[in-house]
Amino acid sequence: MAAALRRTAAPMAAAAVFRLSAPPRHAARLARFLGGASAASSDAAVASGEFVPWHNGGGVLHRAASVDPTAVVEAGAVVHSGAVLGKDVVVGSGAVVGPSVSIGQSTRIWYNVVLSNCSVGEFCTLHNGACIGQDGFGFFVGDDGQMLHVKIGNHVEIGANTCIDRGSWRDTVIGDETKIDNLVQIGHNVVIGKCCMICGQAGIAGSATLGDYVTLGGRVAIRDHVSIASKVRLAANSSVTKDIQKPGDYGGFPAVPINEWRRQTANLRIFSKKDGGRR
């Protein structure tokens, strides 16, 4: 009877070892969906064990990724080859950390964030659905064959569903301690200084440059290739069509100094009333 038990236990033990060492089914599906190349090569990668479960959180990472042991990769998240995750980083479920991505210490990546071709500094927060590092209009590969990146400083907060395009002729840069609200579009080659505040639905076209301590109200639009000096504040719904070289408050379309915009608004109201009285 003991011999029979040993014969029965042997295949069961082997099956248990296989289940622990083999990549789980959800890892195969995620790697197939996001894999570095085609679905066929993704299947091959999973079969060869290139993507493996991470012990801290249940996510999936590539064997060639560099991940600090304290980092958390939650179930459903994927970390690709060449990515670097620092100490105490948390990557939420559904997030994708692509190749050529580095994430600094204690940064929190929330659910369904997609990162590619970017570096994220320390103590940052990227909220749900943000997309960083995709190519924008005018994207090309430089003469040296290298794709440019998005560089995000330290203590930066990026709101939900905000998109930041990687550079074409220079890196896209977000300065330290800048706060970006939800649903903001930042084009390729944009450079934003430190301690800026950008409210929801603002749009910054490619190659614009913002200094330090700039504030953009909701739905502000900035055209391409303009420069905005440090300590400029733009009222909601303003549109910047040319360079702003002096600090101060601006508003209107096109944006002008705030007192001039108020006079324009008051005069327009007076003229409209007079015109209405004639009718």
26 is catalytic: no
Tokens standing for residue 15? 């099956």
213: helix, strand or coil: coil
CA distance 163 to 171: 15
Instruction: Say how far residue 205 (Cα) sits from the centre of its chain.
Output: 17
Buried b (16+ CB within 10 A) or exposed e, 3-16: eeeeeeeeeeeeee
**CB proximity list for 71: less than 8 A, separation 6 or greater:** 56, 85, 86, 87, 88, 89, 90, 91
- Residues belonging to the chain: 279
Q: Of 80, 155, 188, 225, which one is the catalytic site residue?
A: 188
Burial of 195 (0-12, 13-18, 19+ CB in 10 A): middle
CA–CA gap between residue 273 and residue 277 (Å, rounded) = 6
Catalytic residues: 188
